[in-house]
Amino acid sequence: MKNQPITGYILAGGKSSRMGTDKGLLLFEGKPMIQYVIDQMQAVFTKVVIVSIGIGV
């Protein structure tokens, strides 16, 4: 089978009501969590898409 482009999706968003702060911006291994996840996924997928819905907009 040929290598085919595969897209990875990151589901983001939510109120963070229990955490009280945006989880995606918390530092993990010296960088914001969302950037860490993007970096890891880019090593596997040919395209990475973040899917997010604004709350209270």
pLDDT in tens, 6-45: 999 999 877 777 877 788 888 999 999 999 999 999 999 9
pLDDT exceeds cutoff 60 at 47: yes
Answer yes or no: are the C-beta atoms of 4 and 45 closer than 8 Å. Answer: no
Q: Which residue has the higher pLDDT, 45 or 2?
A: 45
What integer pLDDT is reported at residue 3 of this predicted model? 72
Answer yes or no: are the C-beta atoms of 2 and 40 closer than 8 Å. Answer: no
* Stretch 37-56: mean pLDDT: 88
Q: How far is CA 33 from CA 8, 28, 38, 47, in A?
A: 16, 5, 9, 18
pTM, to two decimals? 0.76
Q: How far is CA 34 from CA 4, 5, 18, 49, in A?
A: 25, 22, 19, 12
What integer pLDDT is reported at residue 55 of this predicted model? 60
